[in-house]
Amino acid sequence: AQAWQKRRNQEAFIARLNQAETEAAATQVWIEFAVLCGYLDAEIGQELHHEYQQVLADLARLIEHSAAWVVEP
């Protein structure tokens, strides 16, 4: 939502998308820790990890094609 509101400035838009990408990757690490510590079932952890891989791929595509999403003021 924060990135979407920054679409009037491509650099700000990309910066927010990069931040979202970093947070998604951090969430993957926490999922791994949760599985290793026994707080989360391994199968569920694997499913969540896969979902976050898809989120990361989608964010990468948005960053790569950010110009198409920028709205001129």
The pLDDT tens digits along the chain (73 residues) read 777 777 778 888 899 999 999 999 999 999 999 999 999 999 999 999 999 999 999 999 999 999 888 887 6
In this prediction, residue 71 carries a pLDDT of 82
CA-based nearest residue to 28, from 53, 3, 7, 58:
53
CB within 8 Å of 18: residues ≥ 6 apart? 63
CA-based nearest residue to 26, from 43, 60, 49, 3:
49
**pTM reported for the whole predicted model:** 0.82
